[in-house]
Structure 1
């Protein structure tokens, strides 16, 4: 519950003092800052009442920020702090600081996610099925991004891009050839691009020709980088980037490596003239010339949903070079026995010390923050947190350091000299987030140190 309740009690005693302070402050506008701080001090000093109604005044950052505004009047400040007084009878008033708290919560999360502002995606954005499949693959693999492609193995960020059609000219004007351009300007400069692929969908070919139907058709798919654009009568200058020989027995996606071209576009964006994709029959199927089942262009028969799920996409794999600061729990399967033993120890310790250091549930709900319009998955996640006392002697599962043990010994001798060791996370794991960024691009990213896996005394 993000509602913060501020109780103000017996405020009338301080009104005269505050009003006199305001009168002095109005004479010298530079004193308004000190007046604001005085006001905050007066409100904080009211935290104890005769009946104990007011135990604490919670000042969120948004409220504290108000003390830095010299032009706010006394009553504006009082309103922001939800201070009310009814001279007929004493009442408790509740002020909902949900909006202020949400703003601060939102800004902190955006900072963690590496976003400058909250994305506001267009309503017509379609999430490629490939990105959804990748996300499902990652959450089943403990949120650690892993790929068969060795170049993409070190990536922790995946982005998908849809193309804009370039005007066809010269010999590229049939179903067997298409020119595409991708805007990749939203990839941050600090990220290291490890791989880039063009994904093309080949539908299962159904032919009316019995002879063709019995054969397994083979195609050659070539992708060229456009080095210099052409015009109506002249073909562009191109260089071959990748080629694949594929069978059309079953519907499948074909991956073409265009990493060299994308690297060049990042270094020199002005040289991004796009790519040209060509389809031709292999030597084993020389007579076949119908390539409409290769989804390079949208045919009249395709619906919007079919085209969006089958259109070509550029997928980039990169690494933001942000390292995990804490030991990660990544070998879950290999440590099953060790985990069981730890759980037994925890169970025994909980019986002995109910308030001992342990992991507690903490669910972060993106829907409640209002982020469900740009975060595709998950709708929220269990972050957990560590809480509890560090009791001597320490159990094995608390992973106490030698320093923590020494600190506890010193504290037991002289409690005023040093505090007791604290219950903190000792093992953290990442989460995978599928979202739409501020440039309307679909991103799958692994964020390190987001879930507490283990707690200890440090």
Structure 2
């Protein structure tokens, strides 16, 4: 978190010894900030205006507040949610999702097929059934999935013939197979049958397709994954609660370098705003939400004696006493650093224009203390 704050301070208040030097420093800071977000280069903005899937927007709003700060760290199963739209644009009940953007180190926790159920067809005569059976198959032989061994059943259940809306089917094992062997991804096949698996001449139930229906109703694959990335300094905390623990001394020494002006030394340790504007950085083309966030940073003095309002650790209290009484040479006073950190969430387009929700630990200073 401290390294991130220093990068943001550089971006917010760039040094200006020369235009070339300032430009080089900004470029290096942006490169390091991309590393914080687990990227080598920023994804290109979509070629044309794209509306993100409403499911992903709703999920972001459930997980995070308007600034992207996590409201509850336990909502997501992992730290990444990826959405993929169907790429077949052909047969109505065949679907194909290209998963090339899933990193090799990502662990697939859950995979869901989202299909939008259309209003049932109007049929002549009295309705015989209120439900039909929907089955999801993993295609093993693309040329002839109905041949023996041409497909494998993944999920099956009864679906109502009343109304319309989204239906979600778990297909986790198939997606794990595809990410391990990309060539095995031959797509999915969906069948609609009567009760007990009886055939239907004209299935009363249909799902929206990529070719014939609005963007908001297109078939979608949603992956809940975890890339193993975790904050290295403090445990992630939910907003506004969370735990705190002592800060490492080596980082404390670095943080002290940020506050050298006499005015800063006179002010007690406290949290100050640090605005991150993605449009100003040049990332607004691919980041959907938030448009920016307040990272905050800690600044101020930790004079002896340390009061409870400075949230000192026992170690900081002892260090303050040693420093005040000059009982040992080279022992400085405690410094003002974050003692509680929040995670933030980004909703963005990746390199393939898929919409991703990703959670990043230790991105917002929740409170400051003397350590």
Partner Cα separation in structure 2 for residue 233 and residue 450 of structure 1:
51
- CA 1:185 to 1:121, structure 2 compared with 1: closer, same or farther past 3 Å? same
1:5·1:96 contact (CA, 8 Å) conserved in 2? Answer: no
User: Deviation at 1:323?
Assistant: 2.7
Tell me how far apart the structure 1 counterparts of residues 210 and 160 of structure 2 sit (CA, whole Å). 19
Aligned to 2:229: 322
Q: Deviations over 1:400-450 (max 9, x none)?
A: 122212221221133862221110000001111101122322110111011
Instruction: Quickly say closer, same or farther: Cα 1:167–1:372, change in 2 above 3 A.
Output: closer
State the SS of the aligned residue for 1:314: strand
Q: Could you tell me which residue of structure 1 aligns to residue 183 of structure 2? A: 270
Cα shift at 1:142: 3.4
Matched with 1:55 is none
Cα separation, 2, equivalents of 1:252 and 1:278? 18
SS of 2:167's partner is strand
Q: Which of 313, 318, 322 is matched with 1:401 structurally?
A: 313
> 1:239 aligned to 142, 148, 152, which one?
152
Alpha-carbon distance in structure 2 between the residues aligned to 1:244 and 1:354? 68
Structure 1 CA distance for aligned equivalents of residues 80 and 146 of structure 2: 41
Q: Is the 8 A contact 1:143 1:446 kept in 2?
A: no
Give the structure with higher Rg (CA): 1
Residue among 88, 101, 106 paired with 1:191: 106
TM-score by length of 2: 0.79
Structure 1 unaligned segments of length 5 or more: list them: 7-57, 59-80, 82-94, 148-152, 169-174, 336-352
Q: For 2:176, what is the secondary structure of its paired residue?
A: helix
Per residue, is there more helix in 1 or in 2? 1
From 316, 340, 355, give the equivalent of 1:427.
Answer: 340
The Cα RMSD (Å) is 3.2
Q: Equivalent residue of 1:228, what SS?
A: coil
Please give the TM-score of this superposition, normalised by the length of structure 1.
0.65
Q: Secondary structure at the match of 1:110?
A: helix
Q: Is residue 278 of structure 2 the alignment partner of residue 372 of structure 1?
A: no
Counterpart-to-counterpart distance in 2, 1:390 and 1:294: 63
Number of residue pairs matched by the alignment: 334
What whole-Å deviation, never above 9, does each CA across 1:341-375 have from its counterpart, x for those lacking one? Answer: xxxxxxxxxxxx97101111111000111111100
Give the aligned partner of residue 86 of structure 2: 163
Match of 1:298 in 2: 211
C-alpha contact (below 8 Å) 1:3/1:96 kept by paired residues = no
Q: Which has the higher contact order (CA 8 A, sep 6+)?
A: 2
Counterpart-to-counterpart distance in 2, 1:121 and 1:398: 44
Hey, what's the Cα distance between the residues in 2 that align with 1:123 and 1:292?
35
Q: 2:117 aligns with which of 189, 196, 202?
A: 202
Structure 1 residues 333 and 455: CA distance shift in structure 2, 3 A:
closer
